[in-house]
Amino acid sequence: MSSQIEIKVPDLGGASEVDVIEVMVASGDRIAKDDSLITLESDKASMDIPAPQEGVVTQVKLKEGDKASQGDVILLLEALPSAEATKQSQQQTTKTETTSADANQTTEQTIVVPDIGGATDVDVIEVMVTPGDQITKDDSLITLESDKASMDVPSPYSGTMKSVVLKVGAKVSQGDAIAVIEITDAAANQAAPIQPPETVSSETATKSSTPAATPSSPTQQQTASSNEIYAGPAVRRMAREFDLDLTQIIGTGPKGRIQTQDVQHFVKQRMQAGRGVGLSVPTPPVVDFSQFGEVTSQPLTKIKRLTGENVHRNWLTIPHVTQFDQADITELEAFRQANKHHAEQQGFKLTPLAFIMKVVVKALQTFPQFNASLDPSGQQLIYKKYFHLGVAVETPNGLVVPVIRDVDGKGVLALAQELASISQKAREKRLMPNEMTGSCMSISSLGGIGGTAFTPIINGTDVAILGISRASTQPVWQHDQFIPRLMLPLSLSYDHRVIDGAEAARFTQYLADCLGDIRHLVL
């Protein structure tokens, strides 16, 4: 028996109109399951589309240069009845044990841990069902957590929970029993094969509808130094081209060797998952503005472009949160006014920023986790024993952030003077690259311009940045009346991977306290 089937382009993760760059089969070819049929290439990656089953190609519908989207017919295949195929489909349904033969009434099914990308001994960190629960297909049953990711395992059936086998803290591998479910509506469940949670293993698998599931599969332990990665030079080069971390990729070759197909598969998964490695950042539309009126264009300055790259990277890679607060600087301002002539005599200004820098360093000393950087692996926090502060300076060419070193060892006047000279240098474009590196934290002051608050983006490899807006006199309720106080708005953006909200709130509060009464500095 044979039949004609249409082989279609599978889900490309939403990508459409993708270029067909190679067609590897011709009509008359006999192909096996998983043979590559065509290669598609988007502007981010290329991938092979494998045959979903074996057969003989009767007609190829796509040719090189075509654009393909999901559902387009690639070719017509004359299917062969194959022992392999039937065995496979059998396996899928017999993966679950039927404890009752009567399919029309109620059936008991043991639900097992699905394919979790080869990971074994994975921790069960949550069990969401108890016996008696009514479950709908795809409801989450348990949460697993490997060292790479956590994921929910959805129920492949609807029914009533008979018993739950696993407990929190258990370690499981593929095939281990999770629970026994009594299926009430056997017909509705019959065709439901167990679907691996988001570890997309077959080309046509669609995304699981479990919202809590994380897209990354719990991969095996290919950590350690890159020299221990089991991959040949061609694969390592490919990973470099796609900016991939090979420790994240599961090798399917002999002894777990990472092969080119594994890298391709990984890239495709990422494309389908629609996130990660910036592969799916949408590009802005091309607009011809001249249709709306007269325009001219000018290249961005080099500083703007570099700053742009940095802020873009940090914006994408650091989970920012911004904490807002206000500091009462009435006293500080009076003190500054009273002492500014000391500076003026020496030809510079005693700015509030010099005081703020001192206060920030005091806060860094008190909260050392703010004087830190995350190492590239994201596994370690590097604490700094020095106190260098970046100060954002506006120049005609763009924003630069010179760094003032060892602020802890300098007095306010000395800082004010250094600020004046380094800002001057920045505006004259005389800053050396090493004068712009090494900051622990940065301050961006828009106080001279205006605004009530803003959300600064963290600079370099810092974990926080302090934004200063314009101070204004505001009525403050003290004792039993409103009194006018000079209030300075503070906006502290921080890296939420390193710093918790409460810590940031305390840090900002501390800044406000110290600015409110700078005698704190000598405490």
Partner 1 sequence: MAEQKQTQVVVLGSGPGGYTAAFRAADLGKKVILVERFSNIGGVCLNVGCIPSKALLHVAKVIDEADALSQHGVKFGKPQIDPKRLVSWKDGVVKRLTGGLAALAKQRKVEIMTGEGQFIDDHHLKVTTDKGDVTIEFEHAIIAAGSEAVRLPFIPEDPRIFTSTGALQLPNTQCNMLVIGGGIIGLEMANVYHSLGAKITIVEFMNQLMPGADVDIVKPLHKRVEKRYQNIWLETKVTAVEAKKDGLYVTFEGKNAPTKPQKFDQILLSVGRSPNGHRIGADKAGVQVDERGFIAVDHQLRTNVDHIFAVGDIVGQPMLAHKSIPQGKIAAEVIAGMKHYFEPRAIASVAYTDPEVAWVGLTETQAKAENIPYEKGVFPWAASGRALSNGREEGITKLLFDPTTQRVLGAGIIGTQAGDLIAEVALAIEMGCDAQDIALTIHPHPTLAETVAQAAEAFEGTITDLYLPKKKKSDKQRAA
Catalytic residue among 341, 342, 388, 496: 496
Query: Given candidates 87, 255, 385, 479, which one binds partner 1 under the rule CB under 8 A?
Result: 255
By CB under 8 A, residue 225 contacts partner 1: no
Return the amino acid letter for 359: V
Whether 388 is catalytic: no
Q: How far is the CB of 6 from partner 1 (least distance, A)?
A: 38
By CB under 8 A, residue 241 contacts partner 1: yes
By CB under 8 A, residue 44 contacts partner 1: no
Q: Which is nearer to partner 1, 433 or 450 (CB)?
A: 433
User: E strands of 386-497, at which residues?
Assistant: 389-391, 393-395, 398-400, 403-404, 441-445, 464-468, 472-478, 481-495
| Contact criterion met (CB below 8 Å) for 499 and 370 | yes
| Contact criterion met (CB below 8 Å) for 238 and 229 | no
| Spatial distance between the Cα atoms of 128 and 135, rounded to a whole number of angstroms | 11
Q: How far is the CB of 231 from partner 1 (least distance, A)?
A: 7
Greatest distance between any 2 Cα atoms in the chain: 101
Q: Which residues contact 381 (CB under 8 A, 6 or more apart)?
A: 369, 372, 373, 374, 375, 498
Q: How far is the CB of 232 from partner 1 (least distance, A)?
A: 5
By CB under 8 A, residue 429 contacts partner 1: no
Q: Which is nearer to partner 1, 233 or 284 (CB)?
A: 233
DSSP single-letter state for residue 366: H
| Contact criterion met (CB below 8 Å) for 153 and 128 | no
Q: Which is nearer to partner 1, 90 or 252 (CB)?
A: 252
DSSP single-letter state for residue 258: B
Query: Given candidates 233, 282, 376, 396, which one binds partner 1 under the rule CB under 8 A?
Result: 233
Q: Which residues contact 236 (CB under 8 A, 6 or more apart)?
A: 229, 246
**Using DSSP, how many helices (H) and how many strands (E) does the chain show?**
9, 27
Q: How far is the CB of 399 from partner 1 (least distance, A)?
A: 21
- CB count in 10 Å sphere of residue 294: 6
Q: In this structure, what token pair is assigned to residue 390?
A: 């970046």
What backbone torsions phi and psi does residue 488 show, to the nearest 5 degrees? -110, 120
Q: Which is nearer to partner 1, 55 or 251 (CB)?
A: 251
| Spatial distance between the Cα atoms of 484 and 349, rounded to a whole number of angstroms | 26
Give the interface segment with partner 1, choosing from 72-80, 166-174, 182-190, 231-239 (CB under 8 A).
231-239
Q: Which residues contact 450 (CB under 8 A, 6 or more apart)?
A: 469, 470
By CB under 8 A, residue 231 contacts partner 1: yes
Hey, is 304 helix, strand or coil? helix
Inter-axis angle of helices 352-366 and 412-427, nearest 10: 110
Query: What does the chain come to in residues?
Result: 523
| Spatial distance between the Cα atoms of 95 and 194, rounded to a whole number of angstroms | 8
Q: Which is nearer to partner 1, 233 or 376 (CB)?
A: 233
By CB under 8 A, residue 230 contacts partner 1: yes
Give the interface segment with partner 1, choosing from 233-241, 261-269, 434-442, 464-472 (CB under 8 A).
233-241
Please count the residues of this chain forming the interface with partner 1, following the rule CB under 8 A.
13
By CB under 8 A, residue 65 contacts partner 1: no
Q: In this structure, what token pair is assigned to residue 134?
A: 């009514």
Query: Given candidates 30, 67, 171, 240, which one binds partner 1 under the rule CB under 8 A?
Result: 240
| Contact criterion met (CB below 8 Å) for 35 and 23 | no
By CB under 8 A, residue 434 contacts partner 1: no
Q: Which is nearer to partner 1, 140 or 259 (CB)?
A: 259
| Contact criterion met (CB below 8 Å) for 74 and 27 | no
Q: How far is the CB of 504 from partner 1 (least distance, A)?
A: 36
DSSP element (H, E) containing 145: strand 140-145
By CB under 8 A, residue 228 contacts partner 1: yes
By CB under 8 A, residue 275 contacts partner 1: no
| Spatial distance between the Cα atoms of 247 and 225, rounded to a whole number of angstroms | 9
Q: Which residue is listed with tokens 């703007």?
A: 304
Hey, is 102 helix, strand or coil? coil
Q: How far is the CB of 282 from partner 1 (least distance, A)?
A: 23
Query: Given candidates 94, 104, 204, 227, which one binds partner 1 under the rule CB under 8 A?
Result: 227
Give the interface segment with partner 1, choosing from 41-49, 87-95, 171-179, 225-233 (CB under 8 A).
225-233
Q: In this structure, what token pair is assigned to residue 460?
A: 């370099």
Q: Which is nearer to partner 1, 118 or 256 (CB)?
A: 256
Q: Which is nearer to partner 1, 7 or 229 (CB)?
A: 229
Q: How far is the CB of 382 from partner 1 (least distance, A)?
A: 22
Q: Which is nearer to partner 1, 394 or 435 (CB)?
A: 435
By CB under 8 A, residue 236 contacts partner 1: yes
DSSP single-letter state for residue 231: B
By CB under 8 A, residue 232 contacts partner 1: yes
Give the interface segment with partner 1, choosing from 57-65, 236-244, 306-314, 502-510 (CB under 8 A).
236-244
Q: Which is nearer to partner 1, 216 or 222 (CB)?
A: 222
By CB under 8 A, residue 43 contacts partner 1: no
| Contact criterion met (CB below 8 Å) for 69 and 9 | yes
By CB under 8 A, residue 448 contacts partner 1: no
Q: How far is the CB of 227 from partner 1 (least distance, A)?
A: 7
By CB under 8 A, residue 237 contacts partner 1: yes
Could you give the count of Cα atoms lying within 13 Å of 417 in the half-sphere of its Cβ? 12
| Contact criterion met (CB below 8 Å) for 222 and 122 | no
Where on the chain is the footprint of partner 1 (CB under 8 A)? 227-233, 236-237, 240-241, 255, 257
Question: Residues with catalytic annotation?
Answer: 496
